[in-house]
Amino acid sequence: MRKEQYEFPLDDLISEDDFKKIKEFSRDKETPFLIIDLDKVEKRYDELVENMPFVKIYYAMKANPLDEVILSLKNKGSNFDAATIYEIDQLLRLGVEPERISYGNTIKKEKDVAYAYQKGIRMFATDSESDLRKIANNAPGSRVFFRLLTESDGADWPLSRKFGSHPDVIYELIILAHELGLEPYGLSFHVGSQQRDIGQWDNAISKCKYLFEAVALHGIKLQMINLGGGFPAKYISPANELETYAHEILRFIWEDFGEDHPEIIIEPGRSLTADAGMIVTEVIMISKKAKLNQYKWVYLDIGKFGGLIETLDECIKYPIYTECKGYEEEVILAGPTCDSMDILYEDHKYVFPDTLNEGERLYIFTTGAYTQSYSSVSFNGFPPLKAYVV
Ligand SMILES: *Cc1c(COP(=O)(O)O)cnc(C)c1O
């Protein structure tokens, strides 16, 4: 087999200038760490607004809850989807008005509903009778939106099964909400994160149409559809451009609802922050398990517990770059902890130059979402992932 020189499409991910700046910034810092470029978060936000001017954005803050990220999106005019009272407290501390916050988790303690209500939150997601009654008892008169079950086919990081209910159940919940004095406001769904199949929104929007009509027969007029997240970031496997998503989704809405469609909300997390992040890591060790093994093991100072949990089942494949030069060589990538599940990529073989050495830095792109907030507190004593905002 002829050997090829290692090449990496750096230009697709970052400009030469920006990469130089990042290298300069990170030179004297101990790895691993995450760098978040706030300009890029803002740029992604602007792109969303430009492509989907008809929607109201609720940032799903679990993707990246850094204060700086929240503040810059707040200044851009974003609303926020919070999952817990802790996220709500953080938003309020940063001066986000309660009218701009939805409590989007369908799994809530009674006292947390009461707390949110007391703080001024008036919009809640639900998907069960138990939760709906907690809302009715502790957040009287609030707006409620109902989460539909979706299959998540086509998503790299599925969010299926656990959330949402079948339309039959939702139909009854909507009527019950009305009876309990709440305002049945709309429907929501999440087609799965990093969803590559835009048709999944079509299926879900059709279900919404059916429910809008079914409850209208009871005199209940729903006013909103929450299209969730699922919008793409730039990982190794290609996805369509945001523009294509926006164009297609708008077409689905028009087909079902016409131009006089309900209010549309989206809850982007990954698509706003992933591309704005880069993790800088270092090769700790390179080894071979047996003399004749074909693949080297390359151990990094970051792994599943240090922030790369989305490599579970190799779901999310981050672009990883090194400045070494040499012939291409396929390797197995693993993390530094003493847990055997801390292997990053074994099936999918990453290619690096055969000159890659211990101590060399690797740059992991598209790591601004679902990394730092997932990193463990001190498993094996490793501190949680550091982040720098530039
Ligand atoms: C996580 C989550 C999101 C964000 O999804 P992305 O695919 O990261 O954009 C949106 N809505 C809800 C309810 C979520 O749980």
Average the pLDDT over 239-262 and give the result: 95
338 is catalytic: yes
Ligand 1 centre to CA of 191 (Å) is 9
Q: Which domain holds residue 307?
A: 10-35+274-389
H or E element in which residue 332 lies:
strand 328-334
How far CA 335 is from CA of 18, 65, 178, 378, in Å, comes to: 27, 24, 51, 14
377 lies in the same domain as 343 = yes
| Residue 271 CA, closest ligand 1 atom number | 9
**How many structural domains comprise the chain?**
2
Ligand 1 binding pocket includes 304 (Cβ within 6 Å) = no
Predicted confidence at residue 37, as pLDDT, reads: 97
Ligand 1 binding pocket includes 26 (Cβ within 6 Å) = no
Q: pLDDT digits over 191-240, tens only?
A: 999 999 999 999 999 999 999 999 999 999 999 999 999 999 999 998 99
> Is 5 part of a structural domain of the chain?
no
| 381 band by pLDDT with thresholds 50, 70 and 90 | very high
Q: pLDDT digits over 9-56, tens only?
A: 999 999 999 999 999 999 999 999 999 999 999 999 999 999 999 999
189 lies in the same domain as 49 = yes
CA-CA-CA-CA dihedral for 39, 369, 6, 32, to nearest 10? 90
Q: Which of 321, 383, 273 is nearest to 40 (CA)?
A: 273
With beta carbons less than 8 A apart as the criterion, state whether 83 and 104 touch: yes
CATH number for the domain that contains residue 122: 3.20.20.10
| 158 band by pLDDT with thresholds 50, 70 and 90 | confident
200 lies in the same domain as 217 = yes
**pLDDT higher than threshold 70 for residue 1:** no
Nearest residue (by CA) to ligand 1, atom 14, is: 60
Chain position carrying tokens 């090449």: 7
| 161 band by pLDDT with thresholds 50, 70 and 90 | confident
> Is 90 part of a structural domain of the chain?
yes
178 lies in the same domain as 257 = yes
Ligand 1 centre to CA of 228 (Å) is 6
Q: pLDDT digits over 298-326, tens only?
A: 999 999 999 999 999 999 999 999 999 99
**pLDDT higher than threshold 80 for residue 154:** yes
Q: Which of 107, 102, 143, 141 is nearest to 127 (CA)?
A: 107
Pocket test for ligand 1, best of 64, 79, 193 (most atoms within 8 A of CB): 193
| Residue 274 CA, closest ligand 1 atom number | 8
208, 315, 324, 338: which is the annotated catalytic residue?
338
Ligand 1 binding pocket includes 352 (Cβ within 6 Å) = no
101 lies in the same domain as 225 = yes
Ligand 1 binding pocket includes 63 (Cβ within 6 Å) = yes
Ligand 1 binding pocket includes 269 (Cβ within 6 Å) = yes
With beta carbons less than 8 A apart as the criterion, state whether 143 and 129 touch: no
Domain boundary among 258, 273, 288: 273
Ligand 1 binding pocket includes 270 (Cβ within 6 Å) = yes
Ligand 1 centre to CA of 230 (Å) is 7
With beta carbons less than 8 A apart as the criterion, state whether 10 and 321 touch: yes
Instruction: Work out the percent of the chain whose per-residue pLDDT is above 70.
Output: 99
Predicted confidence at residue 192, as pLDDT, reads: 95
Predicted confidence at residue 203, as pLDDT, reads: 95
Q: pLDDT digits over 176-192, tens only?
A: 999 999 999 999 999 99
> Is 249 part of a structural domain of the chain?
yes
265 lies in the same domain as 278 = no
135-138 contacts, C-beta under 8 A, 24 or more apart: 135/108, 135/182, 136/177, 136/180, 136/181, 136/182, 137/110, 137/113, 138/110, 138/111, 138/113, 138/114
How far apart, in whole angstroms, are the C-alpha atoms of residue 233 and residue 195?
10
Ligand 1 centre to CA of 330 (Å) is 33
Residue 224, SS3 per DSSP = strand
The most distant pair of C-alpha atoms in the chain lies apart, rounded to whole Å, by: 74
Ligand 1 binding pocket includes 104 (Cβ within 6 Å) = yes
Task: Please compute, for residue 87, the number of CA atoms within 13 A of its CA located in the half-sphere on the CB side.
Answer: 22
23 lies in the same domain as 102 = no
Ligand 1 binding pocket includes 164 (Cβ within 6 Å) = no
Average the pLDDT over 241-269 and give the result: 96
217 lies in the same domain as 289 = no
How far apart, in whole angstroms, are the C-alpha atoms of residue 306 and residue 309?
8
With beta carbons less than 8 A apart as the criterion, state whether 192 and 160 touch: yes
Count of residues in the chain:
390
> Is 1 part of a structural domain of the chain?
no
- List, in sequence order, the alpha helices (H) in 154-275: 167-179, 199-216, 242-257, 270-273
268 lies in the same domain as 278 = no
216 lies in the same domain as 320 = no
Predicted confidence at residue 344, as pLDDT, reads: 98
Domain boundary among 254, 273, 292: 273
Ligand 1 centre to CA of 223 (Å) is 21
Q: What is the DSSP letter of 148?
A: B
Domain boundary among 214, 241, 273: 273
* Pair of tokens at residue 235: 């990982």
* Pair of tokens at residue 149: 């079950």
> Is 346 part of a structural domain of the chain?
yes
139 lies in the same domain as 266 = yes
How far apart, in whole angstroms, are the C-alpha atoms of residue 299 and residue 339?
13
CATH number for the domain that contains residue 353: 2.40.37.10
Predicted confidence at residue 45, as pLDDT, reads: 98
With beta carbons less than 8 A apart as the criterion, state whether 131 and 110 touch: no
309 lies in the same domain as 216 = no
